[in-house]
């Protein structure tokens, strides 16, 4: 049974495998601090429905408390180990919404439902709750294993042992941009994501983490960094990993892979 991916924008995706729904880094806001949503509607109510939610790290565009507060009571929430200590508001939201929070470190895995398992894998990214949080929680990626093996990278830079630490995967959801005109360390742009794709060698890939949020008042500053990363990743992937099928969905579009 193929896996189905719905990209809601930024790093937020629904992964459907073997009848199990997993939601990644939910961000359902029109505006977040100095960022506004410039492309794609705010996801509809059905986007919130999930058997488990995967949070890759503590930055507020990935661990967004108002979005987590929309989850149905009893939803399983997987977060980096130490997240509740680092973000006191997470414990309050989990208590109010009766969320089942599981903290994971890289290498640990859990059963979700019906034989679908999730394994936490390393990422190379500053996992702190910015701007002042102590570095208590390393950032994670996740591999969902059901009928297929789907890698959600969260936010990460390219690192030498990526393929070894992630392991074999069938589908890769790779960040290819960001929310501003410049990417700092610990991120993939389209070129580095294509290099990561060559190392991981999945059957299929989807670019994420681009083309959704942009700082207020900066529409004219390097606009190609907002619009172009998805298509640029698809173009570069043909050179770096020609055997990999790349799909570039529109916001809210569901694609079947591999």
Residue 130 has pLDDT above 90, yes or no: no
Residue 131 has pLDDT above 80, yes or no: no
Query: What CA–CA distances, in Å, run from 116 to 22, 48, 89?
Result: 10, 19, 29
Residue 26 has pLDDT above 70, yes or no: yes
* Phi, psi of 134, deg, nearest 5: -70, 160
Contact 247, 257 (CB under 8 A): yes
What local confidence, expressed as pLDDT, does residue 136 receive? 73
Over residues 232-247, the mean pLDDT reads 98
Task: Kindly state the helix (H) or strand (E) to which residue 256 belongs, with its residue range.
Answer: strand 254-257
Over residues 87-104, the mean pLDDT reads 95
Over residues 127-148, the mean pLDDT reads 85
Q: Over the stretch 99-120, which tens digit does the pLDDT of each residue have?
A: 999 999 999 999 999 999 999 9
Residue 190 has pLDDT above 70, yes or no: yes
> pTM for the full model?
0.96
Over residues 30-59, the mean pLDDT reads 96
What local confidence, expressed as pLDDT, does residue 132 receive? 62
Q: Which residue has the higher pLDDT, 218 or 13?
A: 13
Task: Kindly state the helix (H) or strand (E) to which residue 192 belongs, with its residue range.
Answer: helix 190-200
Q: Rounded to whole angstroms, how far apart are CA atoms 12 and 209? A: 8
* Angle of the 229-240 helix axis to the 190-200 helix axis, nearest 10: 40
What local confidence, expressed as pLDDT, does residue 90 receive? 96
Q: Over the stretch 139-173, which tens digit does the pLDDT of each residue have?
A: 999 999 999 999 999 999 999 999 999 999 999 99
Q: Over the stretch 196-218, which tens digit does the pLDDT of each residue have?
A: 999 999 999 999 999 999 999 99
Over residues 175-183, the mean pLDDT reads 93
Confidence of residue 219 (pLDDT cuts 50, 70, 90): confident
């Amino acid at each position: 049974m193929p896996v189905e991916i719905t990209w809601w924008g930024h790093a937020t995706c629904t992964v459907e495998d073997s009848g199990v729904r997993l939601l990644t880094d939910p961000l359902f806001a029109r505006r977040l601090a100095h960022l506004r949503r410039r492309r794609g509607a705010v996801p509809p109510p059905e986007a919130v429905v999930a058997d488990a939610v995967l949070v890759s790290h503590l930055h507020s565009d990935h661990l967004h408390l108002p979005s987590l507060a929309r989850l149905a009571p009893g939803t399983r929430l997987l977060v980096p180990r130490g997240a509740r200590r680092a973000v006191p508001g997470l414990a309050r939201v989990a208590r109010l919404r009766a969320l089942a929070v599981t903290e994971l470190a890289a290498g640990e895995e859990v059963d979700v439902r019906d034989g679908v398992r999730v394994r936490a894998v390393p990422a190379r990214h500053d996992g702190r709750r910015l701007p002042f949080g102590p570095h208590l929680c390393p950032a994670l990626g996740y591999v969902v294993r059901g009928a297929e093996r789907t890698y959600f990278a969260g936010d990460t830079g390219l690192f030498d042992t990526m393929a070894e630490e992630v392991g074999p995967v069938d589908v890769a959801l790779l960040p290819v941009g960001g929310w501003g005109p410049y990417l700092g360390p610990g991120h993939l742009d389209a070129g580095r994501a294509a290099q990561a794709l060559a190392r991981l060698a999945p059957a299929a890939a989807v670019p994420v983490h681009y083309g959704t949020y942009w700082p207020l008042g900066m529409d004219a500053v390097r606009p190609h960094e907002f619009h172009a990363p998805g298509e640029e990743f698809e173009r570069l992937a043909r050179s770096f990993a020609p055997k990999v099928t790349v799909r570039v969905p529109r916001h809210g579009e569901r694609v079947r892979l591999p």
